[in-house]
Amino acid sequence: MKEFKINDYLTLNLEGINTILYIKGVKFRQCKSLFLNVPINKRQSFKKIRSIDEAKENENFSSNGNIWNLTPEEEFWAHCSNLQVWVENNYDTRLLHSNLAFPLLKKLTEERDLIALKVFKEEIAKRFSSQNRSVMMFLLRRGYLEYLNEQETEVIAKQLNKNLIKKLDLSDCGLEKIPKIIFYFDGLEILNLDSNYITELGEIGKLRYLKKLILFDNRLEVLPDSICNLKSLVELDLGNNKLKCLPNSIGNLSSLKKIMLSENFIVSVPESAKSLSSLEDIYLNYNDIADFPKSLCQLTNLKGLEISNNKLSSIPYSIENLRSLEALSLSNNKLTSLPLSIRKLKKLKWLSLSNNKLLEIPQSIGELSQLEWLNLSNNYLKTIPKKFCNLKNLNTLSLSNNKLDSIPDCIGNLELLEILDLSKNRLTEIPESIMNLTFLKKFNLDDNRIKNIPNSVKELN
């Protein structure tokens, strides 16, 4: 085994064919690859490269892995040389790739290396200020900016081209709060903070050009009023948090088209929500809403409304105002009836009413002429109204697990049906018109009371 000691902290060992880096005698990591090659005839071009990170991004110089067919010993000495130069230059992180330089420098500060303690924060500030996008993203995603105090952060911010970053993905980074430096990115348009541990949003209101904000799967309990200052916001994802309410000023988000609020503890929606005139889709699944928010019934541009898995017992007559609605999910609530005004939803194509306590369906549902998908499973329906057969565009219909003892003969009028589920009912016979459903691909009659099923129907089932 070959060993090369760089200083009192760093040692490299050649173990078999692998080069292993040790810090104070404890294994830190394996040196995996040498990816930088500088041909003699391109030395002048290399002078423009300011760091190993930039060189790695330049296809003229870099390569992954050992493409020069070095022996393990030659590769070992190459790694030794690189680390030696790094140490001789006071841990200048430009001389190693960021994914090694910063974790190594951080570990050396923890071991109380005096040079590392002196330059650690300086290197973070210097490299972030260099405005190399890949380095900036590395430092942000790995949380290195959090080692800087507020004054140091402000100094960096003043040097930034604030429009450099338009899109920032910090999902699944273990963040408990939003890095302060982000609030200085005036030109930021998309911010993804999905799957972190964030409990507060800091100065989020400063990001005035933000168009898309993703905060799904965090630990937010309260939203600051300042979030309603994001007048350019088009999409907001707050799903899977711990929210119980929304700011009263939510209606100020005049550009908002899509808001996701599923999997929270929301009990009501503010009256000001009626001012969300641009809103097209709202997701409120899996909350604690007992009274249908009437403010939503004023959103005349709404195309999609999902409010399943709540505690709704009724739907207001004013739902008729949602004339642009194309998809409506009301499944897994406590509904016993539907308002007659549902017939006004002429553009509705997708309707889910499964797992409620519906006793009947109004005749007016037959006026939803654009309906293509309808789920009424797991209710208490005993009959199906004849006007139901006017739904000529229907291609999927589920009526499973109800109390139906018959199906109207006109079911054969639904000639575009591809999926029909009548399982778990009390049917004793099937109308012959069922044979008109020539596009049927899936037909379920299981768990009924039919004694003699015609052979032709058996072929469908």
Domain boundaries, the chain: 2-113, 163-311, 343-461
Choice among 50-64, 235-249, 263-277 with the minimum mean pLDDT: 50-64
Note the pLDDT of residue 205. Answer: 95
DSSP 227: G
Beta-sheet strands, E only, within 215-301: 235-237, 258-260, 281-283
The predicted model gives 118-133 an average pLDDT of: 88
Beta-sheet strands, E only, within 1-156: 2-5, 10-15, 18-23, 26-31
Give Dmax (Cα) for the chain: 90
Percent of the chain with pLDDT over 70: 93
CA 309 to chain centre: 20
Domains 163-311 and 343-461 share a fold: yes
Note the pLDDT of residue 190. Answer: 97
Choice among 17-26, 33-42, 344-353 with the minimum mean pLDDT: 33-42
In this structure, are residues 353 and 379 in contact, taking their beta carbons and an 8 Å threshold? yes
Return the CA Rg of the chain. 32
Confidence of residue 156 (pLDDT cuts 50, 70, 90): confident
Distance (Å, whole) CA 62 – CA 49: 12
The predicted model gives 304-332 an average pLDDT of: 97
Residue 284 CB partners (closer than 8 Å, separation 6+): 261, 262, 266, 269, 305, 306, 307, 310
CATH for the stretch 163-311: 3.80.10.10
Distance (Å, whole) CA 57 – CA 31: 19
pTM for the model:
0.85
The predicted model gives 252-264 an average pLDDT of: 97
Counting other chains too, the contacts that 270-276 makes at CB distance below 8 Å and 24 or more residues apart are 270/245, 270/246, 270/295, 271/295, 272/248, 273/246, 273/299, 274/298, 274/299, 275/251, 276/250, 276/251
The topology (CATH level 3) of 343-461 is 3.80.10
Question: Is the predicted pLDDT of residue 58 greater than 80, yes or no?
Answer: no
The predicted model gives 215-230 an average pLDDT of: 97
Note the pLDDT of residue 354. Answer: 98
Note the pLDDT of residue 47. Answer: 62
Distance (Å, whole) CA 153 – CA 181: 6
5 versus 32: the higher-pLDDT residue is 5
